[in-house]
Amino acid sequence: MPTDIPQPSFVLIRPQMGENIGAAARAMWNFGLDRMRITAPRDGWPNPKADAMASGAGRLLDEAQLFDSTEAAVGDCTFVYATTARTRDLTKPVFSPEAAMADAAARVGAGQKVAVLFGPERAGLENADVAVANALITVPVNPEFPSLNLAQCVLLTAYEWRRAQGAGDAMQVGMAGTDWASTAEIAALASHYEERLEEAGFFFPAHKAGSMKLNLRNLWSRMPLTQVDVRMLHGVMRQMVRWKSRGD
């Protein structure tokens, strides 16, 4: 059974190759989507080539809803997006995939039933399909080569849906069992280095010592140090002092 997580339906309009249907199912499930609808697949349904390409997402194909027309496939929906590179002469809102899925997330969250149309591989959606949609999604591709594979377009859109759910930080740091050093820990490290550098005669000439120490403090505060980093740097300085003592 499909998951009970509110989400848009992805509707493949007259898909031609079973392999692309399977790849689209796999792309959908990569990002937690499992509501696939298919209208008039060229090679019939079910399709063993789709099953082979879907890999671990075969459940989506087993549960896919089959329709005879675009109108029937979205008849129960309250808002429909059509993916197309042809946006001229069409008086409809045009979204990027990112903006479209953010809009879709808000609509789904408000209880609306949303669908996204994907056209057949050869030429994309026809004007009659696009006419059913409330808004368009267009990908900012190379204008000299704008054609996207069906599964690629599904993947892009599914990824943006996942991002709209707040999944996946833009950047994160693996802490490897430690935590960020506190201000007090970094201050203690700075004091340790200042004391040892003072003993070594590093702060010379004397009238520049204040600015040199300030520069070092700024250096430490700019570094995103972990507690492990701080302990290691204390150890480095202690070992250097021991090494110098042995040399004497």
Query: Does 88 score more than 70 pLDDT?
Result: no
Residues 22, 63 share a domain:
yes
Q: Are 9 and 35 in contact (CB under 8 A)?
A: yes
Residues 242, 120 share a domain:
no
Residues 218, 157 share a domain:
no
Residues 155, 99 share a domain:
yes
Cα 81 to Cα 79: distance, rounded to the nearest angstrom: 7
Residues 229, 118 share a domain:
no
DSSP, res 8: P
Cα 25 to Cα 155: distance, rounded to the nearest angstrom: 9
Residues 59, 139 share a domain:
yes
Question: Please, what is the angle between helix 97-109 and helix 150-164, to 10°?
Answer: 50
- Specify the 3-state DSSP secondary structure of 225: coil
Using one digit for the tens of pLDDT, what is the confidence trace for 138-194? Answer: 998 888 887 789 999 999 999 999 999 886 555 556 677 888 888 999 999 999 999
Number of separate domains in the chain: 2
Query: Does 7 score more than 60 pLDDT?
Result: yes
- Specify the 3-state DSSP secondary structure of 204: coil
Determine the pLDDT at residue 176.
Answer: 78
Query: What domain range is 230 assigned to?
Result: 183-247
The per-residue DSSP string of 72-83 comes to HHTTT-SEEEEE
- Whether 103 is in a domain gets the answer yes
- Whether 174 is in a domain gets the answer no
- Whether 178 is in a domain gets the answer no
- Whether 170 is in a domain gets the answer no
Residues 223, 104 share a domain:
no
Residues 190, 88 share a domain:
no
The vertex-160 CA angle with 171 and 24, nearest 5°, equals 125
Residues 240, 130 share a domain:
no
- Whether 172 is in a domain gets the answer no
Determine the pLDDT at residue 10.
Answer: 98
Residues 203, 149 share a domain:
no
Q: Which residues pair with residue 81 across a beta bridge? A: 116, 135
- For residue 236 the two structure tokens come to 């480095």
Determine the pLDDT at residue 167.
Answer: 61
Residues 151, 64 share a domain:
yes
pTM exceeding 0.85: no
- Whether 119 is in a domain gets the answer yes
Residues 194, 143 share a domain:
no
- Whether 225 is in a domain gets the answer yes
- Whether 4 is in a domain gets the answer no
